[in-house]
Amino acid sequence: MKSSFTQGQIESTLQDIQARDTAYAELAGRFGALFLERESVRTNLIKEKKESLQIDAGRVAVGVPILSDVDLTPWSDLFSRSNQAMLPVFAEVLQLEEETFRKLQSHLKETDTLMELVHAKIAGNRQLFEQHSEQLDISPHTLLSYCIETVCSPAFSAIAHTIDESFSWDQGSCPVCGSTPSIAQLSPKEVDSNEYLVGGGGKKYLHCTLCGHDWHYKRNACAACGNEDNESREIFHQDDVKYERIEACHNCGKYMLCVDMREYASLPDLDTVQMGLIHLDVIAHERQLYPITQTLWNTLK
């Protein structure tokens, strides 16, 4: 399912986060520009005509993500333009030192280097990120990985947008790029073709921050290990805010945040809303649980 969040939804989500408390207001004020710029770049890239990505149905049927081992160089121009637009905002928001920004800018300006890291991101090749980080004298190496994820996300999303979604997928990782999900949602109420008929919604979808794809998943299963045993799975929430929750699995020790879209007056952007749920990450960490996907928000100290 293609994510369909808009600039307005991001702005609304940021306003809701700012209203939570002073600390959240400061975070939203600082990082808001990154989310807004990413959506602007993504929208512009999607509008352009581009080669559609062909799906190998046989590979998908046996659980191989669509972009796995695919040569993405035909789309190198998308990645270059995405990087050029996003990197200055990324550096400003993260308050990188000028020297670090210049190193990244010079390094990623080379198309071959950029695409090597793009392919490494899809392949989960952490060693290559470590090598490039050492070459640039940048630490930690996770900074470079997060940089590529952030500045190239609009391009990944534009490519994912061209994919024909007539395929089935039951894995806990993204069918497009193979990334693990950063958050889950219970779908909003569904309006039938007859505007007076509204369905209950509540189907579970996992969300990929890298390419923006959302896919249906079993509501009672852990996305990390597939565990469906109710005795070893648990749901936590803070106070009476049950529509923002932690889904924990004691079989693998992992957790993921989940939001119930049926309970929001205005649907939040799934990437932005994670910044406003750090208090849930803190609760999960106190219970010795680890996130299925590490993000900037669930790794803050």
At 201 the pLDDT is: 75
Q: Flag whether pLDDT at 198 surpasses 50.
A: no
At 166 the pLDDT is: 81
Quote the CA–CA distance of 51 and 205 in Å, as a whole number: 27
Q: Write down the residue that tokens 């581009």 correspond to.
A: 50
Average pLDDT of 217-225? Answer: 96
Quote the CA–CA distance of 147 and 107 in Å, as a whole number: 12
Q: Flag whether pLDDT at 231 surpasses 90.
A: yes
**Which tokens sit at 282?**
């803190």
1 or 286, higher pLDDT: 286
First to last CA, the chain: 33
Which residues sit opposite 215 in a β-bridge? 206
Average pLDDT of 43-50? Answer: 86
Which range, of 1-5, 60-64, 143-147, 199-203, averages the lowest pLDDT?
1-5
Q: Flag whether pLDDT at 11 surpasses 90.
A: yes
Closest to 36 measured CA to CA, from 232, 279, 272, 217: 272
Interval 64-95: pLDDT, tens = 999 999 999 999 999 999 999 999 999 999 99
CA distances from 15 to 26, 65, 182, 187 (A): 11, 35, 21, 22
Mean pLDDT of the chain, nearest integer: 93
At 1 the pLDDT is: 63
Quote the CA–CA distance of 154 and 119 in Å, as a whole number: 15
Average pLDDT of 31-42? Answer: 97
Closest to 93 measured CA to CA, from 149, 28, 178: 28
At 191 the pLDDT is: 56
Average pLDDT of 205-230? Answer: 96
Q: How confident is the model at residue 200 (pLDDT cuts 50, 70, 90)?
A: low
Interval 236-265: pLDDT, tens = 999 889 999 999 999 999 999 999 999 998
**Which domains are present in the chain?**
17-160 (no CATH), 183-291 (3.90.1670.10)
Interval 121-172: pLDDT, tens = 999 999 999 999 999 999 898 999 999 999 999 999 999 999 888 888 999 9
| DSSP character string of 63-127 | T--TTTT---GGGHHHHHHHHHHHHHHHHHHTT--HHHHHHHHHHHHSHHHHHHHHHHHHHT-HH
At 194 the pLDDT is: 46
At 263 the pLDDT is: 94
- Non-local (6+) Cβ contacts of 12 within 8 A are 266, 268
Quote the CA–CA distance of 273 and 31 in Å, as a whole number: 12
